[in-house]
Structure 1
């Protein structure tokens, strides 16, 4: 696959030109397709609105996505790989505002370097969240300062790696008495899985499949 295909400029174009996700399109993407029997169960949950920033660094050598390793002491999703993000506050004017605010609080990413370029369908998590992925291009020159209370480390993964379906493995486990299927994307010594891998898979299906 060509390097130009996975440039930040091409990502921006694809994000803006995608067909606008309708309210129910979350059912047809990512690991929701692997767990159709749980959709009704998830819809009946009282979900908290959240937003995450899917930030692609505009580097001419290699566009990369910013990810975090959560600390082990967090109440939910402790130690997991995640996008910067969190709950939508009443003061947030939009999911974009929430995602950028959370990125500033979690990893010190100044929003002046962030250009939001679109959204993905919402991700409905069985752990109680309705997550809005916000797509963004991040200009070079930013600095990262992780909040040690929430983030153990920040790392980057090439967009070309994550958008290659050969790197999208499948796994399953029993959770709350039911078999749940999910994607796994091993990268070096990291294991990207669960919600984050589900959102990445949706990004692939919406923009690159």
Structure 2
């Protein structure tokens, strides 16, 4: 995919109107409590353009973490008091978690928010990396930093819907596996949202 064409497609995708997504998209029987309060967060969908083909940067969370151990995730986290918003939070977290200098990430825009089962409203921040950097996993937080071809996660045919029992109920979710990496849940759902917008 040529870079100029990619930028045009991303610009159109990010400019499209539409609703956000949630961990409950595939579970219409779930009744969400009225008046629930969601905590704001931001994740960085970083597309590395320094390789032969565009790659999406992902992390494997530490297996020692209390929440979501060993899961595949974007760099990111909750909006702190010192952050100006989700974009700033995603860039700060990317520096802390993978060693990506903020000056190396050119933000193109954001996708609609994604609500997680853990009570966050997550803003996916789409950015491109045009300068090489040395990945540095944050000790105790990130076990591995890896990249997946953008073409893989933009192909809607690579996504499947699976399910498992969670808190006594059957829950369904998106997956988009790549090699040894089982990408699922909120990360897969946000990637599916980007792929869906890019397909139009």
**Aligned partner (choices 108, 133, 142) of residue 133 of structure 2:** 142
| Deviation, structure 1 residue 59 | 3.3
Q: Structure 2 stretches of 5 or more lacking a match? A: none
- Which has the larger share of helix? 1
SS in 2 for 1:35: coil
Contact 1:63 1:159 in 2 (8 A): yes
TM-score if structure 1 supplies the norm length?
0.87
Q: What is the RMSD of the two structures over their aligned residues, measured on CA atoms?
A: 1.9
Within 2, Cα distance between the matches of 1:206 and 1:165?
Answer: 11
Q: Structure 1 stretches of 5 or more lacking a match? A: none
Within 2, Cα distance between the matches of 1:206 and 1:77?
Answer: 27
Q: 1:17 and 2:51 equivalent? A: no
Q: 1:162 and 2:153 equivalent? A: yes
Map 1:1-209 → 2, pairs under 5 A: 3-4=1-2, 7=3, 9-18=4-13, 19-21=15-17, 25-27=19-21, 32-38=24-30, 40-41=31-32, 44-59=35-50, 61-209=52-200
Contact 1:15 1:119 in 2 (8 A): no
Deviation sequence 1:93-146 (CA, Å, 0-9, x none): 121111000000111100111000011111101112111100000113212111
Instruction: Give the number of equivalent residue pairs.
Output: 199
Residues 60 and 186 of structure 1: CA distance in aligned 2, closer, same or farther (over 3 Å): closer
TM-score if structure 2 supplies the norm length?
0.91
SS in 2 for 1:145: coil
Deviation sequence 1:31-81 (CA, Å, 0-9, x none): 64322333x416653321110000001136210000000001212111100
Within 1, Cα distance between the matches of 2:16 and 2:83?
Answer: 22
Within 2, Cα distance between the matches of 1:142 and 1:10?
Answer: 24
